[in-house]
Amino acid sequence: MDFNVRKFATDAGIFFSRAVQFTEEKLGQAEKTELDAHFENLLSRADCTKNWTEKIYRQTEVVLQPNPGARIEEFLYEKLDRKVPPRPTNGEILGQFMLEAAKEFGAETPYGSTLIKVGDCQRRLGGAEREFLQTSSISFLTPLRNFLEGDWRTISRERKLLENLRLDLDACKARLKKAKAAETKAAAVPDFQETRPRNYVLSASASALWNEELDKAEHELRVAQTEFDRQAEVTRLLLEGISSTHVNHLRCLCEFVEAQAMYYSQCHKYMLELQRELGRRCPGSLDVNCLPDRSPTDPSAFLPLNSSSPLERDALQIEEVQPPASGTRKAKVLYDYDAADSIELSLRADELITVYTVPGIDSDWLIGERGNQKGRVPVTYLELLS
């Protein structure tokens, strides 16, 4: 092994000098070169970006893959630079179990045929989840990880180098200050009446030595200042690039939201199709083909399978319904609700209405009254008051 003793001694001396300077700064015994306010703001912004990016990245991983064992496995495969083997989603596994159960029970039986329909829907939901996970990993997680493992490591390395050069610069300033003080003391006028003439010779020699030391300290300071200024400019450029990082992360965030919206839209579509299929097979179920189109965020978009059919609803003449002698209650409306037909009552959030039940009405509905208006209202939209 080629061991360079001189280089080792030089590096050890630099390390010791930095350690002394750092310790004296902490003890308040040495001056410290302060960075300008703009540079300090850039450093603070970069640290904030790193901290929150790391938190968002970790939590997004948890949301996309709640299983910590699976996350560790994916991490190991990634570090080994190997492709992660395909893993079925929970929805796909559930769908497969349902299809296998249907074979055992008989596909021609009502239960077996329903298991086939639900199992197929669960597999499609699992497939949509798989696509969402892949898209989110590529468009959102990967850019965040690239920043943490690439750009941020470069910034950290340059910041560490800048801090070392600052310590060198301040150490040079301290040596120059000491050299000036010693040179001034040595250049003091000697006492020519001294009985020993050699004192004058020694004083002149010491003055010359300190002049030489002063020139050396000034040269080292100029070199250290040049290196520090150059490194400060490099670090400044990297820190100013954080703005571009924010722009890139904003674009990735929008893509993540688009992928999430598409995933939930597909899930909503599959569930509506399944509900229609079950409406044709399950006795007394709701035929959702007769439902008005509503937003996926509308709580009434998904109604219980055992709710009354349109024929049963038409058979109820709302005008003929009379409130019971006792049993009426006040209710607070939680959400806006637009009546689907003439026998329903539109609601506005936070208003108070009178509600009661009548024989033959489904348990998910009540009769609501507001002044002279009367109609069916969904229970899920109400908070019943005592």
The phi and psi torsions of 63 (rounded to 5 degrees) equal -65, -45
Residue at 274 is within a domain: yes
List, in order, residues 6 or more apart from 200 with CB less than 8 Å away. 190, 192, 194
List, in order, residues 6 or more apart from 236 with CB less than 8 Å away. 39, 42
Digit-coded pLDDT (tens) for 339-363: 888 889 999 999 999 998 888 788 7
| 8 A C-beta contact, residue 18 and residue 166 | no
Distance CA 45, CA 27 (A): 28
Amino acid at 43: L
The confidence score (pLDDT) of residue 110 equals 85
146 shares a domain with 45: yes
335 shares a domain with 268: no
Which CATH number covers residue 371?
A: 2.30.30.40
381 shares a domain with 233: no
Query: What residue has token string 């008989």?
Result: 106
| 8 A C-beta contact, residue 357 and residue 367 | yes
Give just the sign of the alpha carbon dihedral 287, 290, 293, 298: negative
111 shares a domain with 30: yes
142 shares a domain with 17: yes
The confidence score (pLDDT) of residue 257 equals 95
Digit-coded pLDDT (tens) for 240-257: 999 999 999 999 999 999
Residue at 67 is within a domain: yes
Number of domains the chain is built from: 2
The average pLDDT across 6-35 equals 72
Residue 178 pLDDT grade (very low, low, confident, very high; cuts 50, 70, 90) = confident
231 shares a domain with 101: yes
Digit-coded pLDDT (tens) for 258-310: 999 999 999 999 999 998 888 755 544 444 444 444 554 454 554 444 444 44
The confidence score (pLDDT) of residue 186 equals 63
**Does 196 score more than 70 pLDDT?**
no
The average pLDDT across 23-46 equals 83
333 shares a domain with 272: no
Residue at 207 is within a domain: no
Which of 230 and 12 is assigned the larger pLDDT? 230
112 shares a domain with 245: yes
Chain centroid to CA 55: how far? 5
Most confident of the following: 191-200, 211-220, 298-307, 373-382 = 373-382
229 shares a domain with 366: no
373 shares a domain with 256: no
Closest CA to 171 of 2, 287, 19, 6: 19
Give just the sign of the alpha carbon dihedral 174, 180, 183, 184: negative
Q: Which of 241, 262, 280 is the last residue of a domain?
A: 280
List, in order, residues 6 or more apart from 148 with CB less than 8 Å away. 50, 53, 54, 57
pTM for the structure as a whole: 0.61
Return the percentage of the chain with pLDDT > 90, whole number. 39
SS3 per residue for 4-17: CHHHHHHHHHHHHH
Domain range holding 63?
13-187+217-280
Distance CA 33, CA 196 (A): 46
Residue 318 pLDDT grade (very low, low, confident, very high; cuts 50, 70, 90) = low
Residue at 2 is within a domain: no
359 shares a domain with 222: no
Query: What residue has token string 């690039």?
Result: 241
Residue at 43 is within a domain: yes
Q: DSSP class of residue 340?
A: S
Closest CA to 159 of 52, 271, 235, 213: 235
Residue at 173 is within a domain: yes
Which CATH number covers residue 75?
A: 1.20.1270.60
**Does 238 score more than 60 pLDDT?**
yes
**Does 191 score more than 60 pLDDT?**
no
| 8 A C-beta contact, residue 270 and residue 128 | yes
339 shares a domain with 272: no
Residue at 291 is within a domain: no
Distance CA 386, CA 376 (A): 20
Residue at 307 is within a domain: no
Digit-coded pLDDT (tens) for 145-167: 999 999 999 999 999 999 999 88
**Does 80 score more than 50 pLDDT?**
yes
The confidence score (pLDDT) of residue 24 equals 73
* DSSP E strands, the chain: 329-333, 352-356, 365-370, 373-378, 382-384
The average pLDDT across 299-323 equals 50
Mean of pLDDT over the chain: 80
